[in-house]
Structure formats: C-alpha cells, structure tokens
Amino acid sequence: MKRALAILGVLTLATTACSGGGGNVPGTSGGPVTVRWSTWGSAEDVKLYEKFTEDFHRRYPGIRLKLESVAKYEDYHPKLLAQLTSKTAPDVFFVGDDNIGKFVSAGVLTPLNDKLAGPDSKSRPEDFFDGVYGGAKRDGQIYGVPNDTNPEVLWFDKKALKEAGITEDPAALHEAKQWTMAKYLDMNAKLKAAGKAGSIFWNWYGSTYSMINGFGGKVWDGGKFVATTDPKSLEALRTLAKGYQDKTFLSADVLPDSNGPSTQFLKHKVGFYAGGRWVIDSLRKGGELDDYDIVPFPSQTGEPMPGAVAASYLSINKETKLPKEAFTFLTEFVGKDGQLLRLKGGGAVPSVKGAEQVVLEDGYPAHAQTFLDVRDTGFANYPEEVAVPGLTAAINEHLLTVWTGKVDFDQGMTELARLVESKLG
C-alpha cells in the first residue's frame, strides 16, 4: 500500500508524553490523564507533530498525549480492529477513507454531531467540506472528522511537454475552461510519440474514478455499481487499459524502486504525474521547482468537475473512559489552529475552512489554489463502496490485472461486476 502512505503525506508520527498505568481512568490519580491515540506511518515525519503536541501540553496540562503508531498502513486497521474487539484500543484513532465504513458499521465509533456543535468544539460540522466526509457520515450522523486531505491533481512537467512539442499550458487551458479530456489525451499521445510516458497513475480510486468522471461517467448510481455498465465509464476504463498496455500510461504500483514514479518525473521522462500536495517534497529534494505545476483532471467540456480527495478521519473510541479529554484532543487536532500548526511545511491540505494559508503562503506551485478548488468541490471515496469491507481493495486489485493485460478487458469488466455484486451480497 505504498500509495496509501504517499497520498496522505503527513499522516504519521507525533511526539508522545508520559503514559500512566491508571491514567485512562478519570479521578484515580491526582496527575494528568493520558489520552492514547494511534495512526500509521514512520518516524521520519515526527517533527511535523512536535509543535502541535508541545502546544497542546502547554495549554492542557491535565492531559498527556500518547501516540501508538503502526509503521505500515496495511497492518494498521487489522490491529486496530483486534484492539477494539479486545477492549484495548486507543481513545482516539485515525481511520483511512477505504476503511471508515467498516468501523461505522461495527458500531465502535462515538457519534460526533452533538460534540462538534457543542460549546467545547473548535470547529463545526459545516466547517468541513461535505464531500470529504465520505463514509464517515451515515444517516446524517458524523463518526469521524477529516483531519486533513490530499486532493488528487495532475502535476505536469513543463520541460517534458515542451520537448514533446506541446505548446499549450494545461493550467492556462483550465483557467480558460478549455482543459478537456480530448486535449489531455492528445498531449499524452504526443508525449508517447516523443519517447516519453504520458502519465503516471497510482492504482487507487482517486486516479481511476477521476478519469471516469472526466469522461462524464459514473461509478455508483442509486446505490448500484455502474462503472462496468455506464457507456462513458467503460470508455474511460478502456482508455486506461489501452494506455497502460501501450505504455502511454504507467502504473506506479508496478514500477521498480530504482526507476519509480518520482525518479521518472524528475528526469523529465513523463509529462503528467497524478498525485497530491505530497509530491512537493520529492520535487524539492531533486527537481527544478519551476519546471512543474498542477492542473485538475480534465472534463469533457472544459468546465471544472468534482475530483477525488484522499482523506482520513479522526474518530473517538465508543468505549473510551475519557470522552471529554478525547474530544478535547480531537477538536484541537482538526480545528483551524491545530491544522495550521500541524500542516505548516507538510504535504497535506487542510480539511477545515479558514486554514487555506498553509497551502498558499509560499506560492508553490504557481497554481496552488487548484488544491483548494478540488478539495472544496471534490469527493472522498463513495460511501456505498467504503461501507463494504475490503471492496475498494478488491476493485483495485482486479483492475491491476486488467491494466497489466493479464485479463482481457471485456472479461475483466464482467468479472469486476461479479466481484462487486458478490461483495455487496
């Protein structure tokens, strides 16, 4: 799940402070209580949370934060489910957008509507963009708050485009409402003819469903999976399959580590790279920043369309013995001031209204506003999909066999429809 770690950028470690054996039972000790919380990630990003943790401890001396991290995303949710079953789970925890529906269905998360609307909240439910809630909202009730986001955009290499004889600027076309799927595919064809790859995608719903939207298709409609029956959706999927097989498109998931997506992009071997704000970090380490800019996924008409937004959620354990302290941590973490503190210099986009300066303050990329535009009108993974445990992963895994030519396209679509039907049943 390399993609899962990349798209969320900064969803990693925080500093921890003293834990205590009886700290999770209010009133049993005269000292501070300990709120346990968990996420996934490596120690490399620990500094991104240091200021938040220090600030929180200064302002709430009666609460200590103890992080319990899991290095790999694919190991995180199984461990958390096991902890919830054994009543040993943390008080507060991250849940990925492809797993949130499972946790909501299991009834292990605290409903948050009243708390978010209450006097102790640093933000209100409406301060977060509705489309980003995804499967964290069910029947009007919120079970997880988007802690930050990463809108999926197309990074483009100006140098690679120029070398392929492309004179039009994708961002300028978008501003003129002329950024169409036809123009985008034409640029990919010219890049391929010039000996380069057109685009690199990670095999996840963000890229795949954005392409389907760009063709005017649908993935879910009225609770039904229609990507394999909607004509425009099939056209998008067939275009992806053909492009992967003739190397116009490259799947980042199967590229060798020695020549991965970032390496190829930095060496001007590819024109477009689908990703989030987290791409900035690799560009700063190895590229000429002025060579790169961003644009949303194109539409059929050139009019802006909803794009995919990678998200994860901060939720409270329904069994926590520290509901008040747990919510204090949650609301500080996801509130405007918390996100400004956490995300400065990071690779994510705030999920809360009013913290946009984090994205815009350094003026990079030139069209950084695009991140915010996609966030404001975009969507997290569809609630119908994330409500079914393992469905997103199964769809992605099956599509990869189609992209790599292991399964014929028509056969692959038939099998995909059956797969989804079996999961829904």
Per-residue model confidence as pLDDT tens digits over 227-275:
999 999 999 999 999 999 999 999 999 999 999 999 999 999 999 999 9
For residue 29, pLDDT beyond 90: no
Q: Which stretch of 21-25, 46-50, 101-105, 368-372 has the lowest confidence by average pLDDT?
A: 21-25
| 220: number of Cβ within 10 Å | 15
What percent of the chain lies above the pLDDT cut of 70?
Answer: 92
Q: Where are the beta strands (DSSP E) in 43-124?
A: 63-70, 92-96
For residue 217, pLDDT beyond 50: yes
Which pLDDT does position 21 carry in this prediction?
31
The 3-state DSSP composition of the chain as helix, strand, coil percent (nearest 5) reads 45, 20, 35
How many angstroms separate the CA atoms of 94 and 96, rounded?
7
How many angstroms separate the CA atoms of 372 and 393, rounded?
27
DSSP H helical ranges for 276-406: 279-286, 323-334, 336-343, 357-360, 369-377, 383-386, 391-403
Domains annotated on the chain, with CATH: 2-150+311-371 (3.40.190.10), 153-307+390-424 (3.40.190.10)
Per-residue pLDDT tens over the stretch 356-405: 999 999 899 999 999 999 999 999 999 899 888 889 999 999 999 999 99
- Give the residue-averaged pLDDT of 307-313: 95
Per-residue pLDDT tens over the stretch 244-256: 999 999 999 999 9
User: Which amino acid, 203?
Assistant: N
Cβ–Cβ under 8 Å, residues 108 and 115: no
C-alpha dist (Å) from residue 122 to 170, 335, 355, 362: 39, 5, 13, 26
For residue 136, pLDDT beyond 60: yes
For residue 48, pLDDT beyond 90: no
Per-residue pLDDT tens over the stretch 72-92: 888 999 999 999 999 999 999
More confident position, 233 or 287: 233
| CA-CA-CA-CA torsion sign (335, 338, 340, 345) | negative
Cβ–Cβ under 8 Å, residues 304 and 367: no
pLDDT band at 7 (very low <50, low <70, confident <90, very high): very low
Q: Which residues, other chains included, contact 19 with Cβ-Cβ below 8 Å and sequence gap of 6+?
A: 34, 36, 64, 66
- Give the residue-averaged pLDDT of 209-226: 96
Which pLDDT does position 286 carry in this prediction?
84
Which pLDDT does position 325 carry in this prediction?
98
pLDDT band at 5 (very low <50, low <70, confident <90, very high): very low
